[in-house]
Structure 1
Amino acid sequence: MKVTQRQIQKEQTRKRILKAAYDEFGKRGIMATRTSDVAKAAGVSHGTIFAHFKTQEELITAVIQNFDERITKRTHELAENCSGVREVLSSQLQGIKEFEAFYTRLIVEIRLLPEASRTMFVALQSSMSFHLNKVLQQEIDKEEIVDLPIYFIFNTWNGLINYYLVNSDLFAPGESVIDRYGDELLDNFMKLINCKKVKYK
Protein backbone atom coordinates (compact mmCIF):
# COMPACT_ATOMS: atom_id res chain seq x y z
CA MET A 1 0.00 0.00 0.00
CA LYS A 2 1.43 3.33 -1.08
CA VAL A 3 2.12 5.85 1.65
CA THR A 4 0.69 9.28 0.85
CA GLN A 5 2.45 12.59 1.40
CA ARG A 6 -0.17 13.44 4.02
CA GLN A 7 0.64 10.26 5.96
CA ILE A 8 4.36 11.05 5.79
CA GLN A 9 3.74 14.58 7.11
CA LYS A 10 1.52 13.23 9.87
CA GLU A 11 4.21 10.80 10.99
CA GLN A 12 6.86 13.53 10.87
CA THR A 13 4.68 15.78 13.03
CA ARG A 14 4.14 12.96 15.52
CA LYS A 15 7.90 12.39 15.76
CA ARG A 16 8.46 16.13 16.25
CA ILE A 17 5.92 16.17 19.09
CA LEU A 18 7.55 13.16 20.75
CA LYS A 19 11.01 14.76 20.48
CA ALA A 20 9.74 18.06 21.89
CA ALA A 21 7.95 16.29 24.75
CA TYR A 22 11.07 14.26 25.54
CA ASP A 23 13.19 17.44 25.70
CA GLU A 24 10.63 19.37 27.75
CA PHE A 25 10.12 16.48 30.17
CA GLY A 26 13.88 16.36 30.72
CA LYS A 27 14.05 20.12 31.43
CA ARG A 28 10.80 20.80 33.30
CA GLY A 29 9.78 17.44 34.71
CA ILE A 30 7.27 15.01 33.25
CA MET A 31 4.24 15.94 35.33
CA ALA A 32 5.08 19.66 35.38
CA THR A 33 5.18 19.95 31.59
CA ARG A 34 1.91 21.13 30.02
CA THR A 35 0.76 20.02 26.61
CA SER A 36 0.88 23.70 25.60
CA ASP A 37 4.62 23.69 26.48
CA VAL A 38 5.11 20.70 24.20
CA ALA A 39 3.12 22.31 21.39
CA LYS A 40 5.22 25.49 21.58
CA ALA A 41 8.49 23.52 21.59
CA ALA A 42 7.33 21.39 18.65
CA GLY A 43 6.15 24.41 16.67
CA VAL A 44 2.59 23.11 16.33
CA SER A 45 -0.80 24.27 17.55
CA HIS A 46 -2.11 23.02 20.87
CA GLY A 47 -4.90 21.18 19.07
CA THR A 48 -2.37 19.29 16.94
CA ILE A 49 -1.09 17.56 20.08
CA PHE A 50 -4.53 16.07 20.68
CA ALA A 51 -4.92 15.10 17.04
CA HIS A 52 -2.03 12.68 17.65
CA PHE A 53 -2.50 11.86 21.35
CA LYS A 54 -5.98 11.79 22.85
CA THR A 55 -4.83 12.65 26.36
CA GLN A 56 -1.76 13.94 28.19
CA GLU A 57 -1.40 10.46 29.71
CA GLU A 58 -1.25 8.93 26.23
CA LEU A 59 1.47 11.40 25.24
CA ILE A 60 3.52 10.60 28.37
CA THR A 61 3.22 6.87 27.75
CA ALA A 62 4.22 7.26 24.09
CA VAL A 63 7.30 9.30 25.02
CA ILE A 64 8.39 6.75 27.63
CA GLN A 65 7.83 3.88 25.21
CA ASN A 66 9.95 5.65 22.60
CA PHE A 67 12.64 6.35 25.20
CA ASP A 68 12.51 2.75 26.40
CA GLU A 69 13.15 1.49 22.88
CA ARG A 70 16.03 3.93 22.31
CA ILE A 71 17.91 3.34 25.57
CA THR A 72 17.37 -0.43 25.39
CA LYS A 73 18.78 -0.53 21.87
CA ARG A 74 21.72 1.67 22.82
CA THR A 75 22.52 -0.30 25.98
CA HIS A 76 22.48 -3.57 24.02
CA GLU A 77 24.80 -2.04 21.41
CA LEU A 78 27.25 -0.94 24.10
CA ALA A 79 27.11 -4.16 26.13
CA GLU A 80 26.93 -6.71 23.32
CA ASN A 81 30.65 -7.47 23.18
CA CYS A 82 31.45 -6.92 26.85
CA SER A 83 33.12 -9.91 28.49
CA GLY A 84 33.10 -8.97 32.17
CA VAL A 85 30.99 -7.39 34.90
CA ARG A 86 32.97 -4.15 34.98
CA GLU A 87 32.61 -3.67 31.22
CA VAL A 88 28.87 -4.30 31.32
CA LEU A 89 28.36 -1.86 34.20
CA SER A 90 30.46 0.71 32.36
CA SER A 91 28.34 0.28 29.23
CA GLN A 92 25.19 0.75 31.30
CA LEU A 93 26.58 4.02 32.68
CA GLN A 94 27.40 5.18 29.16
CA GLY A 95 23.88 4.36 28.00
CA ILE A 96 22.33 6.28 30.90
CA LYS A 97 24.65 9.25 30.30
CA GLU A 98 23.37 9.65 26.74
CA PHE A 99 19.82 10.03 28.10
CA GLU A 100 20.66 11.37 31.55
CA ALA A 101 18.24 14.31 31.91
CA PHE A 102 15.16 12.33 30.90
CA TYR A 103 16.20 9.16 32.72
CA THR A 104 16.66 11.18 35.92
CA ARG A 105 13.20 12.73 35.59
CA LEU A 106 11.78 9.28 35.00
CA ILE A 107 13.22 7.74 38.16
CA VAL A 108 12.22 10.80 40.22
CA GLU A 109 8.60 10.76 39.04
CA ILE A 110 7.95 7.10 38.28
CA ARG A 111 5.43 6.62 41.10
CA LEU A 112 3.36 9.54 39.80
CA LEU A 113 3.16 8.29 36.23
CA PRO A 114 0.40 6.31 34.51
CA GLU A 115 0.39 2.56 35.13
CA ALA A 116 1.37 1.82 31.53
CA SER A 117 4.44 4.02 31.95
CA ARG A 118 5.43 2.28 35.17
CA THR A 119 5.11 -1.10 33.46
CA MET A 120 7.44 0.05 30.68
CA PHE A 121 9.94 1.26 33.26
CA VAL A 122 10.02 -2.22 34.82
CA ALA A 123 10.59 -3.71 31.36
CA LEU A 124 13.43 -1.23 30.83
CA GLN A 125 15.13 -2.34 34.06
CA SER A 126 14.81 -5.98 32.98
CA SER A 127 16.38 -5.31 29.60
CA MET A 128 19.21 -3.34 31.24
CA SER A 129 19.95 -6.32 33.52
CA PHE A 130 20.04 -8.84 30.65
CA HIS A 131 23.75 -8.62 29.81
CA LEU A 132 24.79 -8.17 33.43
CA ASN A 133 22.99 -11.34 34.53
CA LYS A 134 24.98 -13.45 32.09
CA VAL A 135 28.44 -12.21 33.05
CA LEU A 136 27.65 -12.06 36.77
CA GLN A 137 26.81 -15.75 36.90
CA GLN A 138 30.00 -16.61 35.02
CA GLU A 139 32.17 -14.60 37.40
CA ILE A 140 30.34 -15.90 40.49
CA ASP A 141 30.97 -19.46 39.25
CA LYS A 142 34.68 -18.60 38.85
CA GLU A 143 34.67 -17.14 42.38
CA GLU A 144 35.70 -13.74 41.08
CA ILE A 145 32.50 -12.03 42.27
CA VAL A 146 30.89 -12.50 45.68
CA ASP A 147 28.23 -15.19 45.71
CA LEU A 148 25.13 -13.07 46.24
CA PRO A 149 21.79 -13.33 44.42
CA ILE A 150 22.16 -11.70 41.02
CA TYR A 151 19.02 -9.62 41.50
CA PHE A 152 20.51 -8.22 44.72
CA ILE A 153 23.74 -7.17 43.02
CA PHE A 154 21.84 -5.54 40.15
CA ASN A 155 19.36 -3.78 42.45
CA THR A 156 22.17 -2.51 44.68
CA TRP A 157 24.05 -1.12 41.67
CA ASN A 158 20.88 0.44 40.27
CA GLY A 159 19.98 1.91 43.65
CA LEU A 160 23.43 3.49 43.93
CA ILE A 161 23.27 5.07 40.48
CA ASN A 162 19.69 6.23 40.92
CA TYR A 163 20.49 7.79 44.31
CA TYR A 164 23.18 9.94 42.75
CA LEU A 165 20.97 10.88 39.81
CA VAL A 166 17.98 11.80 41.99
CA ASN A 167 20.25 13.99 44.12
CA SER A 168 22.15 15.52 41.20
CA ASP A 169 21.57 19.01 42.59
CA LEU A 170 23.74 18.02 45.56
CA PHE A 171 26.34 15.87 43.85
CA ALA A 172 26.80 17.58 40.50
CA PRO A 173 24.76 20.80 40.15
CA GLY A 174 24.66 21.87 36.53
CA GLU A 175 26.80 18.90 35.47
CA SER A 176 26.40 15.29 34.39
CA VAL A 177 26.41 13.00 37.42
CA ILE A 178 27.77 10.18 35.27
CA ASP A 179 30.62 12.36 33.98
CA ARG A 180 31.54 13.49 37.47
CA TYR A 181 31.04 10.32 39.52
CA GLY A 182 30.63 7.42 37.09
CA ASP A 183 34.20 6.09 37.33
CA GLU A 184 34.32 6.52 41.11
CA LEU A 185 31.03 4.70 41.61
CA LEU A 186 32.10 1.90 39.30
CA ASP A 187 35.49 1.47 40.99
CA ASN A 188 34.02 1.34 44.49
CA PHE A 189 31.15 -0.96 43.53
CA MET A 190 33.59 -3.40 41.94
CA LYS A 191 35.59 -3.39 45.18
CA LEU A 192 32.43 -4.29 47.07
CA ILE A 193 31.51 -7.27 44.91
CA ASN A 194 34.98 -8.54 43.97
CA CYS A 195 36.26 -11.58 45.83
CA LYS A 196 39.86 -10.48 45.38
CA LYS A 197 41.51 -7.29 46.53
CA VAL A 198 41.56 -5.13 43.44
CA LYS A 199 42.89 -1.60 43.17
CA TYR A 200 41.39 0.79 40.65
CA LYS A 201 42.67 4.22 39.79
Structure 2
Amino acid sequence: MTQYAGVDEMPESQRQKQKKQTRKHLITMAFNQLAKDGLINTRTADIAKAAGVSHGTVFAHFPTRDALLTEVINEFGARVTRRLHELAGGGSVHEILEAHLKGLAEFEPFYTRLVREGSLLPESARNTLIMIQSAVSFHLSQAAEREMAAGIIRRLPMHLLFNTWIGLVHYYLANGDLFSPGKPVLERYGKELLEHYLTLITE
Protein backbone atom coordinates (compact mmCIF):
# COMPACT_ATOMS: atom_id res chain seq x y z
CA MET A 1 0.00 0.00 0.00
CA THR A 2 2.79 2.39 0.91
CA GLN A 3 4.64 1.48 -2.27
CA TYR A 4 1.65 2.36 -4.45
CA ALA A 5 1.20 5.62 -2.53
CA GLY A 6 4.82 6.49 -3.24
CA VAL A 7 4.38 5.86 -6.95
CA ASP A 8 1.24 8.00 -7.03
CA GLU A 9 2.96 10.87 -5.25
CA MET A 10 5.64 11.41 -7.92
CA PRO A 11 3.42 12.77 -10.73
CA GLU A 12 1.40 14.70 -8.12
CA SER A 13 4.56 16.45 -6.95
CA GLN A 14 5.37 17.42 -10.53
CA ARG A 15 1.86 18.80 -11.04
CA GLN A 16 2.11 20.76 -7.80
CA LYS A 17 5.45 22.19 -8.89
CA GLN A 18 4.01 23.27 -12.23
CA LYS A 19 0.98 24.76 -10.49
CA LYS A 20 3.20 26.83 -8.20
CA GLN A 21 5.26 28.04 -11.16
CA THR A 22 2.12 29.09 -13.04
CA ARG A 23 0.79 30.89 -9.97
CA LYS A 24 4.09 32.71 -9.52
CA HIS A 25 4.12 33.67 -13.21
CA LEU A 26 0.58 35.03 -12.97
CA ILE A 27 1.50 37.15 -9.95
CA THR A 28 4.54 38.57 -11.77
CA MET A 29 2.52 39.39 -14.88
CA ALA A 30 -0.28 40.87 -12.80
CA PHE A 31 2.25 43.01 -10.93
CA ASN A 32 3.58 44.42 -14.21
CA GLN A 33 0.14 44.91 -15.75
CA LEU A 34 -1.29 46.63 -12.68
CA ALA A 35 1.68 48.99 -12.57
CA LYS A 36 1.17 49.80 -16.25
CA ASP A 37 -2.62 50.17 -16.49
CA GLY A 38 -3.66 50.79 -12.90
CA LEU A 39 -5.27 48.78 -10.13
CA ILE A 40 -8.82 49.65 -11.14
CA ASN A 41 -8.58 49.52 -14.94
CA THR A 42 -6.59 46.29 -15.32
CA ARG A 43 -8.81 43.32 -16.19
CA THR A 44 -8.09 39.68 -15.47
CA ALA A 45 -8.28 39.13 -19.26
CA ASP A 46 -5.38 41.59 -19.65
CA ILE A 47 -3.34 39.65 -17.11
CA ALA A 48 -4.11 36.35 -18.79
CA LYS A 49 -3.02 37.74 -22.15
CA ALA A 50 0.22 39.14 -20.69
CA ALA A 51 0.92 35.79 -19.02
CA GLY A 52 0.20 33.84 -22.20
CA VAL A 53 -2.49 31.68 -20.58
CA SER A 54 -6.23 31.26 -20.98
CA HIS A 55 -8.56 33.51 -19.01
CA GLY A 56 -9.81 30.46 -17.13
CA THR A 57 -6.30 29.68 -15.89
CA VAL A 58 -6.30 32.89 -13.87
CA PHE A 59 -9.44 31.81 -12.02
CA ALA A 60 -8.08 28.30 -11.53
CA HIS A 61 -5.46 29.88 -9.27
CA PHE A 62 -7.36 32.89 -7.91
CA PRO A 63 -11.13 32.58 -7.33
CA THR A 64 -11.72 36.31 -7.81
CA ARG A 65 -9.97 39.37 -9.19
CA ASP A 66 -9.80 40.76 -5.64
CA ALA A 67 -7.99 37.62 -4.47
CA LEU A 68 -5.38 38.07 -7.21
CA LEU A 69 -4.97 41.75 -6.40
CA THR A 70 -4.50 40.99 -2.71
CA GLU A 71 -1.87 38.36 -3.51
CA VAL A 72 0.03 40.79 -5.75
CA ILE A 73 0.07 43.39 -2.96
CA ASN A 74 1.24 40.67 -0.58
CA GLU A 75 4.13 39.87 -2.91
CA PHE A 76 5.00 43.55 -3.21
CA GLY A 77 5.01 43.89 0.58
CA ALA A 78 7.27 40.87 0.97
CA ARG A 79 9.81 42.35 -1.43
CA VAL A 80 9.82 45.80 0.19
CA THR A 81 9.90 44.65 3.82
CA ARG A 82 12.67 42.13 3.10
CA ARG A 83 15.17 45.00 3.13
CA LEU A 84 13.82 46.26 6.43
CA HIS A 85 13.95 42.85 8.08
CA GLU A 86 17.65 42.67 7.22
CA LEU A 87 18.19 45.83 9.28
CA ALA A 88 15.79 45.01 12.09
CA GLY A 89 18.56 43.97 14.48
CA GLY A 90 20.08 47.42 14.88
CA GLY A 91 19.65 49.70 11.90
CA SER A 92 19.60 53.45 12.45
CA VAL A 93 16.63 55.63 11.49
CA HIS A 94 18.63 56.79 8.49
CA GLU A 95 19.36 53.20 7.42
CA ILE A 96 15.75 52.07 7.91
CA LEU A 97 14.37 54.93 5.83
CA GLU A 98 17.06 54.56 3.18
CA ALA A 99 16.21 50.85 2.88
CA HIS A 100 12.53 51.74 2.67
CA LEU A 101 13.19 54.16 -0.19
CA LYS A 102 15.32 51.64 -2.05
CA GLY A 103 12.61 49.03 -1.75
CA LEU A 104 9.94 51.42 -3.01
CA ALA A 105 12.13 52.72 -5.83
CA GLU A 106 12.48 49.22 -7.28
CA PHE A 107 8.70 49.03 -7.64
CA GLU A 108 7.83 52.71 -7.94
CA PRO A 109 5.25 52.42 -10.77
CA PHE A 110 3.24 49.83 -8.83
CA TYR A 111 3.55 51.61 -5.49
CA THR A 112 2.48 54.89 -7.09
CA ARG A 113 -0.69 53.12 -8.24
CA LEU A 114 -1.26 51.99 -4.64
CA VAL A 115 -0.82 55.55 -3.38
CA ARG A 116 -3.18 57.03 -5.97
CA GLU A 117 -5.84 54.30 -6.00
CA GLY A 118 -5.53 52.85 -2.50
CA SER A 119 -8.87 54.22 -1.30
CA LEU A 120 -10.62 52.38 -4.15
CA LEU A 121 -9.16 48.97 -3.32
CA PRO A 122 -11.32 46.16 -1.93
CA GLU A 123 -11.14 45.72 1.84
CA SER A 124 -8.89 42.66 1.72
CA ALA A 125 -6.32 44.51 -0.41
CA ARG A 126 -6.50 47.61 1.80
CA ASN A 127 -5.90 45.47 4.87
CA THR A 128 -2.86 43.92 3.21
CA LEU A 129 -1.51 47.39 2.42
CA ILE A 130 -2.06 48.45 6.06
CA MET A 131 -0.04 45.43 7.21
CA ILE A 132 2.83 46.46 4.93
CA GLN A 133 2.82 49.98 6.34
CA SER A 134 2.68 48.56 9.86
CA ALA A 135 5.85 46.56 9.21
CA VAL A 136 7.65 49.71 8.07
CA SER A 137 6.32 51.62 11.08
CA PHE A 138 7.49 48.86 13.45
CA HIS A 139 11.09 48.96 12.22
CA LEU A 140 11.14 52.75 12.22
CA SER A 141 9.77 52.92 15.76
CA GLN A 142 12.40 50.48 17.06
CA ALA A 143 15.22 52.56 15.61
CA ALA A 144 13.58 55.82 16.70
CA GLU A 145 13.21 54.64 20.31
CA ARG A 146 16.94 53.92 20.49
CA GLU A 147 17.87 57.27 18.98
CA MET A 148 15.41 59.22 21.12
CA ALA A 149 16.93 57.63 24.22
CA ALA A 150 20.40 58.55 22.98
CA GLY A 151 19.34 62.14 22.29
CA ILE A 152 20.00 61.83 18.56
CA ILE A 153 16.47 62.64 17.42
CA ARG A 154 13.69 64.61 19.05
CA ARG A 155 11.08 62.89 21.19
CA LEU A 156 7.98 62.70 19.03
CA PRO A 157 4.82 60.55 19.09
CA MET A 158 5.49 57.46 16.99
CA HIS A 159 2.39 57.93 14.86
CA LEU A 160 3.53 61.43 13.88
CA LEU A 161 7.05 60.21 13.21
CA PHE A 162 5.81 57.60 10.74
CA ASN A 163 2.92 59.55 9.22
CA THR A 164 5.12 62.57 8.51
CA TRP A 165 7.59 60.35 6.66
CA ILE A 166 5.04 58.36 4.69
CA GLY A 167 3.01 61.49 3.94
CA LEU A 168 6.07 63.21 2.48
CA VAL A 169 6.91 60.24 0.25
CA HIS A 170 3.30 59.75 -0.83
CA TYR A 171 2.82 63.41 -1.70
CA TYR A 172 5.75 63.34 -4.12
CA LEU A 173 4.68 60.04 -5.65
CA ALA A 174 1.04 61.08 -6.06
CA ASN A 175 2.17 64.25 -7.84
CA GLY A 176 5.03 62.73 -9.79
CA ASP A 177 3.73 64.16 -13.06
CA LEU A 178 4.43 67.62 -11.63
CA PHE A 179 7.69 66.98 -9.78
CA SER A 180 9.38 64.57 -12.16
CA PRO A 181 7.45 64.11 -15.42
CA GLY A 182 8.58 61.02 -17.30
CA LYS A 183 11.23 60.09 -14.72
CA PRO A 184 11.19 58.12 -11.44
CA VAL A 185 10.34 60.42 -8.54
CA LEU A 186 12.33 58.58 -5.90
CA GLU A 187 15.43 58.39 -8.06
CA ARG A 188 15.33 62.16 -8.44
CA TYR A 189 14.07 63.25 -5.02
CA GLY A 190 14.59 60.28 -2.67
CA LYS A 191 17.87 61.46 -1.16
CA GLU A 192 16.59 65.01 -0.78
CA LEU A 193 13.39 63.84 0.93
CA LEU A 194 15.37 61.66 3.34
CA GLU A 195 17.76 64.47 4.25
CA HIS A 196 14.89 66.93 4.70
CA TYR A 197 12.98 64.53 6.95
CA LEU A 198 16.03 63.89 9.11
CA THR A 199 16.53 67.62 9.65
CA LEU A 200 12.94 67.80 10.93
CA ILE A 201 13.43 65.13 13.59
CA THR A 202 17.10 65.62 14.57
CA GLU A 203 17.91 67.35 17.84
TM-score, reference length from structure 2: 0.89
Q: Is the radius of gyration larger for structure 1 or structure 2?
A: 2
Q: How many residues align?
A: 194
2:155 pairs with 1:147: yes
Cα deviation for residue 99 of structure 1 reads 1.6
Structure 2 counterpart of 1:4, which letter?
S
Q: What is the rounded CA distance, in whole Å, between the counterparts of 2:83 and 2:71 in structure 1? A: 18
| Equivalent residue number for residue 90 of structure 1 | 98
Correspondence for 2:15 among 6, 27, 50: 6
| Equivalent residue number for residue 36 of structure 2 | 27
SS in 1 for 2:39: coil
Which structure 1 segments of 5+ residues have no match?
196-201
| Equivalent residue number for residue 67 of structure 2 | 58
- Deviation string 1:39-60 (CA, Å, 9 cap, x unpaired) is 1110001111111112211111
Correspondence for 1:68 among 68, 71, 77: 77
Deviates further, 39-48 or 143-152: 143-152
Task: Tell whether the 8 Å contact from 1:82 to 1:88 is kept in structure 2 after alignment.
Answer: no
Correspondence for 2:192 among 160, 173, 184: 184
Task: Tell whether the 8 Å contact from 2:80 to 2:100 is kept in structure 1 after alignment.
Answer: no
The alpha-carbon distance between structure 1 residues 55 and 136, as it changes in their structure 2 partners (threshold 3 A), is same
Q: What is the rounded CA distance, in whole Å, between the counterparts of 1:139 and 1:74 in structure 2? A: 20
- Deviation string 1:81-132 (CA, Å, 9 cap, x unpaired) is 6542222211111111112111111121111111111111111011112221
Structure 2 counterpart of 1:175, which letter?
K
Structure with the larger helix share: 2
Which structure 2 segments of 5+ residues have no match?
1-8
SS in 2 for 1:145: coil
2:108 pairs with 1:100: yes
TM-score, reference length from structure 1: 0.90
